[in-house]
């Protein structure tokens, strides 16, 4: 009798197991991310350090929330160099985390939750709640505490708990390197 009840419930239990796995971890059930990363508006108006700093280590998105990867970019920077806000926003954190100075800025007009940039290791010159303009100095590069071989600033971008490529905040004209060059026009007489 118990075997008959169990056999009758087997299809229901199988469906419940599949649904619970899909509900608990959509990435495992489907093999893909549950939600695509939100689009990032190119609202940046300044690099965090310098004019076009070298990218020491680029964006390497992790395959899953706890997998290996690089959740931001590392920009070459001299010790005590100014660190600037890339876009307008409000400082959501300015303090120390694990011995390093960190500044986080929630970017204005980027939806809910707002996009949030982080800079570290930075000696903050702003406080939580301060409004910042694009290019405004939010601190200076700390000479120690960098995870790079030489001094650098780790620049991150988050939407809620999802890490995004911070370079996508910069419009193409700001990311380009080198000056524009005019090439000769052939077949046009000189004035």
Residue 16 confidence class, pLDDT cut points 50, 70, 90: very low
Does residue 9 have a pLDDT over 60? no
51 vs 1, higher pLDDT:
51
For 119, the 3-state DSSP assignment is: strand
Rounded to 5°, the CA angle 24-26-31 comes to 140
Say yes or no to pLDDT of 143 above 60.
yes
- Long-range residue pairs from 124-128, CB within 8 A, at least 24 positions apart, any chain: 124/94, 124/95, 126/91, 126/94, 127/91, 127/94, 128/91, 128/92, 128/93, 128/94, 128/95
Q: Round the average pLDDT of the chain to a whole number and report it.
A: 78
56 Cβ contact partners less than 8 Å away, ≥ 6 residues apart: 74, 75, 76, 148, 149, 150, 152
In the predicted structure, residue 15 carries a pLDDT above the cut 70:
no
pTM of the model: 0.71
Q: Is the pLDDT of residue 82 over 80?
A: yes
Q: Supply the pLDDT for residue 190.
A: 64
């Amino acid at each position: 009798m118990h075997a008959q009840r169990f056999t009758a419930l087997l299809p229901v239990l199988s469906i419940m197991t599949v649904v619970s796995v899909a509900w608990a971890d959509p990435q495992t059930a489907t093999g893909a991310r549950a939600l695509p990363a939100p689009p990032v508006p190119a609202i940046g108006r300044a690099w965090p350090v310098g004019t076009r700093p070298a990218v020491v280590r680029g964006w390497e998105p992790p395959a899953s929330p706890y997998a290996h990867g690089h959740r931001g970019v590392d920009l070459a920077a001299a010790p005590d160099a100014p660190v600037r806000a890339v876009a307008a926003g409000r400082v959501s954190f300015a303090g120390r985390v694990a011995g390093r100075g960190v500044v986080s800025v929630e970017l204005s007009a980027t939806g809910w939750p707002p996009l949030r940039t982080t800079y570290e290791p930075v000696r903050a010159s702003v406080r939580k709640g301060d409004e910042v303009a694009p290019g405004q100095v939010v601190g200076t590069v700390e000479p120690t505490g960098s995870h790079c071989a030489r001094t650098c600033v780790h620049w991150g971008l988050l939407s809620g708990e999802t890490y995004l490529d911070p370079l996508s905040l910069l419009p193409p004209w700001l990311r380009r390197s080198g000056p524009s060059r005019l090439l000769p026009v052939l077949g046009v007489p000189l004035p």
